[in-house]
């Protein structure tokens, strides 16, 4: 058997290698111990924090006030969330009443079509003047005149009043609805058809039973002596108005068509 000779040089090299290996093992073991200890401490601290949150909830009055945010879906909450805006599931599905259907009600509850504005002056016993009032605003009319049969005038008044009530309940600054079209005379229809191909000769507006309410324009109600009111998006107001109209339609008080091109709700009393 060959005798192994350990020189001084080999001994020093071996000693250094063993020392380095042992130092590395000790360091790794120390890191693992620290990690486990820190994890245990953090777990205990988190448990204590969760216990404090459960035992001492933040009072609602100390929460920051919610800002007025634009709505992106019908389920968004408005302001404090106590009276949210839901809008309707679909404007097309909730307000599908065609012109043919509305025309049937117009012929039933309306007056004989008015020939022109002179004829309208002689028909005041059948019609009601609907100038702007506290609940709605009548826009400048170019193709219609502000008259309705009493039944339709009451409906319009109720829409404006219910819209006001809903805004107050939801804590939204008051706005008036804007009436964009009312009674059209036969003369108005002829002129309108000359530059509007979508205008129909058999218009529900001829009978004093039908009016249009804009869903992109609303009149802000404010007191000049008070600070300016905060702005409200038109689509938020449209959502509130759609809830009001849906309820009245479900009560079988009117037919409604959501007009996309004219940006209005086309409404006929029933």
Note the pLDDT tens digit of each residue in 40-77.
444 444 444 444 433 333 333 333 333 333 343 343 44
- The answer to which of 55-69, 78-92, 146-160, 200-214 has the lowest mean pLDDT is 55-69
181-191: average pLDDT: 93
> Is the sign of the CA dihedral 238, 141, 164, 149 positive or negative?
negative
Residue 43 has a pLDDT of: 46
Q: How far apart are CA 148 and CA 183, in angstroms?
A: 6
**CATH 3.30.1380 for the 91-269 domain, yes or no:** yes
Question: Which one has a higher pLDDT value, 162 or 195?
Answer: 162
Is the separation of the CB atoms in 75 and 86 below 8 Å? yes
All structural domains of the chain with their residue ranges: 1-57, 91-269
Percentage of residues in the chain having pLDDT higher than 90: 50
Q: How far apart are CA 139 and CA 49, in angstroms?
A: 60
Note the pLDDT tens digit of each residue in 89-142.
899 999 999 999 999 999 999 999 999 989 988 888 999 999 878 999 998 898
Percentage of residues in the chain having pLDDT higher than 70: 70
Residue 200 has a pLDDT of: 78
Is a pLDDT exceeding 60 seen at residue 264? yes
Radius of gyration of the chain (CA): 37
Residue 47 has a pLDDT of: 44
164-190: average pLDDT: 94
Number of C-beta neighbours around residue 198 at 10 A: 9
Strand ordering across the sheet containing 210-220: 136-138, 175-181, 210-220, 264-269, 254-259
Contacts 24+ apart (CB under 8 A), 70-73: 70/233, 70/235, 70/236, 71/233, 71/235, 71/236, 71/239
Q: Which helix (H) or strand (E) holds 175?
A: strand 175-181
As a whole number, the mean pLDDT across the chain is 79
Residue 25 has a pLDDT of: 60
pTM: 0.67
């Amino acid at each position: 058997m060959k005798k192994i000779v350990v020189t001084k040089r080999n001994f020093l090299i071996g000693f250094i290698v063993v020392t380095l290996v042992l130092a590395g093992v000790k360091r790794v073991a120390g890191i693992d111990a620290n990690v486990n200890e820190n994890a245990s401490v953090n777990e205990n601290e988190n448990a204590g924090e969760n216990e404090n949150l459960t035992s001492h909830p933040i009072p609602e009055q100390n929460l920051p006030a919610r800002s007025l945010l634009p709505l992106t879906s019908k389920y968004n909450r408005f302001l404090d969330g106590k009276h949210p805006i839901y809008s309707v599931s679909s404007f097309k599905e909730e307000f599908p009443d065609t012109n043919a259907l509305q025309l049937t009600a117009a012929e039933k509850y309306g007056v004989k079509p008015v020939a022109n504005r002179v004829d309208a002056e002689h028909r005041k016993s059948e019609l009601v003047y609907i100038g702007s009032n506290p609940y709605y605003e009548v826009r400048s009319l170019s193709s219609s005149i502000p008259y309705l049969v009493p039944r339709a005038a009451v409906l319009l008044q109720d829409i404006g009043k219910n819209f006001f009530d809903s805004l107050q309940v939801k804590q939204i600054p008051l706005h008036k609805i804007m009436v964009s079209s009312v009674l059209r005379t036969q003369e108005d229809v002829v002129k309108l058809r000359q530059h509007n191909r979508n205008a129909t000769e058999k218009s529900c507006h001829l009978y004093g039973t039908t009016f249009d309410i804009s869903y992109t324009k609303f009149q802000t109600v404010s007191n000049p002596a008070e600070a300016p009111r905060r702005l409200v998006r038109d689509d938020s107001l449209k959502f509130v108005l759609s809830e009001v109209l849906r309820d009245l339609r479900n009560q079988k008080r009117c037919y409604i068509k959501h007009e996309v091109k004219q940006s209005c709700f086309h409404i006929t009393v029933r």
